[in-house]
Structure 1
């Protein structure tokens, strides 16, 4: 198998204590592969800049620091990482340590093995470690989204995904894009494949994402993505015709 360069994009805000071990685990998981790490620092107020600088100087692979002057949210952090990425495949993982990096190669291989028709390999969490309230809220949101968008994905909130870089960059971006990546990739005319992943407890710090504060925004996002799907015409199969 011809293994392409992988850009591991880590959106994070105030995760300086979690990053060193996470980078250790990514290095172990991707041993023998060509990869870079792009840490997107979403307006952190802790020592994230210093932590990334130390990690970059100590690693045999590229650890890059992309910084937002102020916090713009996870979706725009992923967008900044996708635009900065040099790899053919973008693997996303949350910066809090709850996603296990051992599943990055699993998702990358699923994407490659799926062929050119597959645009994204999405992780589906088992044994969730969130609070019971957050789990119920997530299950309802996933059920509603799946019912409306038919994206064949039971858990779009999982931070572990592998996406072809050229497809990732052409997707529409808004505050909430990261919850709709499978549906948006399908709207581009590509398929989605899934792999089960195991969730872990956060090591340090607290979650920056609430439950009730995103309900209204989520409803608007869902309506917007549904509208985009309704307005899209059939994706053409493009063939360049050479002049003989």
Structure 2
């Protein structure tokens, strides 16, 4: 089947959510405006996630998976998804389903004119301290990147795959994807999407990895922006 969109679903210890992910993704695939496939990336889960993921892929022809030997982090999982994507477009959604796959349609409506379309959670259903830490982190990142994004960490994105494959990933870079597309001369846009409370599983990010680590990553981004190699070929034999 000729797919147009690969949707990366990273997961780490999400056994309580996976059956719901299967149901929601199948519902979306059945009505999506483009042909979609799902690519699970199991980031070294210690629970029963891998077994459930394999069973889901065996009974659903539109589902595939990658499984890491050990936990490598969210940026590595997204990078692996980019590496293994074979479609013109690559999307990303978290396995906690705090965002709705049906909102990919809002992003797809814009992608013809852009190289990355980023959702932003305009009415977040998280705790006050989580919302505040994300607001501070996004504000600081904007000082460094000037990408104009309200919510770079939003787990709902669509990227042109050729741009995605050229991103030089490092740990924490999943928060800088819009800025990395801009470094390539790409066009970015953000659109509002819905957000829902987490109803199962455990959050993987706390105050430290929402504020301290992202601040350090901003300096890594500055170095990369200064030294980034970007060229366009005018002729070839």
- TM (norm. structure 2) is 0.92
Listed as ranges, the gaps of 5+ residues in structure 2 are none
Q: SS in structure 1 opposite 2:115?
A: strand
Q: Distance in 2 between matches of 1:216 and 1:147?
A: 15
Partner of 1:179: 175
Q: Distance in 2 between matches of 1:70 and 1:29?
A: 30
Partner of 1:47: 48
C-alpha displacement of 1:197: 0.6
Partner of 2:35: 34
Q: For the Cα contact (< 8 Å) 1:42–1:72, is it kept in 2?
A: yes
- Give deviations 1:92-147, integer Å, cap 9, x for gaps: 000111111111122123112x1xxx220000112112211111111011111112
Q: For the Cα contact (< 8 Å) 1:30–1:105, is it kept in 2?
A: no
For residues 138-177 of structure 1, what are the structure 2 equivalents within 5 Å? 138-177=134-173
Q: Distance in 1 between matches of 2:210 and 2:134?
A: 11
Structure 1 window deviating more from structure 2 (3-12 vs 91-100): it is 3-12
Structure 1 window deviating more from structure 2 (39-48 vs 14-23): it is 14-23
Q: For the Cα contact (< 8 Å) 2:73–2:171, is it kept in 1?
A: yes
Q: SS in structure 2 opposite 1:82?
A: helix
RMSD over equivalenced CA pairs, Å: 1.9
Q: Does 1:125 align with 2:126?
A: no
Seen in structure 2, the aligned counterparts of structure 1 residues 49 and 236 have a Cα distance that, compared at 3 Å, is closer
Q: Does 1:210 align with 2:213?
A: no
Partner of 1:12: 11
Q: For the Cα contact (< 8 Å) 1:11–1:95, is it kept in 2?
A: yes
Q: Does 1:107 align with 2:107?
A: yes
Q: SS in structure 2 opposite 1:97?
A: coil
Q: Distance in 2 between matches of 1:228 and 1:50?
A: 38
Q: For the Cα contact (< 8 Å) 1:96–1:202, is it kept in 2?
A: yes
Q: For the Cα contact (< 8 Å) 1:22–1:101, is it kept in 2?
A: no
- Give deviations 1:192-229, integer Å, cap 9, x for gaps: 01110111111211101111245332122101112222
- Give deviations 1:47-78, integer Å, cap 9, x for gaps: 1122112212322x331121111111100010
Q: Distance in 2 between matches of 1:136 and 1:52?
A: 33
Q: Distance in 1 between matches of 2:167 and 2:214?
A: 18
C-alpha displacement of 1:232: 4.2
Partner of 2:234: 239
Q: Distance in 2 between matches of 1:29 and 1:5?
A: 14
Partner of 2:192: 196
Partner of 2:77: 77
Partner of 2:219: 223
- TM (norm. structure 1) is 0.89
